[in-house]
Structure 1
């Protein structure tokens, strides 16, 4: 079934890249002090495809999606899964009697 009108069901992720003017720092050097970067709305991020600054409401959403993805990746790296021949002994598969682990031995 095609969606014909209204907002999208899922928010589209826009690929972000560091601002080429401030190099992701969000500030540029003025004559005597640092100034907010005008090209990226002082965020340090621009759309990778166009190099344009995102509107602030869209930027907040995209940075939140990027942060959530980074948190998921950190959690996956914190809990490494066993691989190889011993992997079936490390995790319960609930195939044995009473839902216990069955290894086939």
Structure 2
């Protein structure tokens, strides 16, 4: 069933690209000091589809979604995985007495 009105049930991720004006740094070099980039609302990110800056409330949500995805990826990479013959010995195959691991040794 397609939703016909009201807010979406889930926030969809918007494709973001680095700002072409500040090249993702969020600041532009001024004569004497750095200035906040006005093209990307000093975030360093713009929408891929339009090339325009997102409104601040949408930008915060989109950056949070990207951060959560990056954290999940980091946590997956931190988990050591056994490979080769070691993987057989690490996993419980429940073939031993009382459902314990049996390796055949």
Cα distance, 1:17 vs. partner?
A: 1.1
Cα distance, 1:29 vs. partner?
A: 1.2
Structure 1 counterpart of 2:70? 70
| CA distance 1:94–1:67, shift in 2 (3 Å) | farther
Cα distance, 1:49 vs. partner?
A: 2.3
- Distance in 1 separating the partners of 2:48 and 2:21: 14
Cα distance, 1:24 vs. partner?
A: 0.8
| TM-score for the superposition, normalised by structure 1 | 0.83
Structure 2 counterpart of 1:7? 7
| TM-score for the superposition, normalised by structure 2 | 0.83
Structure 2 counterpart of 1:42? 42
Aligned length: 104
| CA distance 1:4–1:34, shift in 2 (3 Å) | same
Gapped regions of structure 1 (runs ≥ 5): none
Structure 1 counterpart of 2:81? 81
Q: Is 1:59 the equivalent of 2:38?
A: no
- Distance in 2 separating the partners of 1:20 and 1:51: 9
4+ residue stretches of structure 1 with deviation over 6 A? none
- Distance in 1 separating the partners of 2:18 and 2:82: 36
- Distance in 2 separating the partners of 1:63 and 1:93: 42
Please report the RMSD computed on the Cα atoms of aligned residues, expressed in angstroms.
2.0
Gapped regions of structure 2 (runs ≥ 5): none
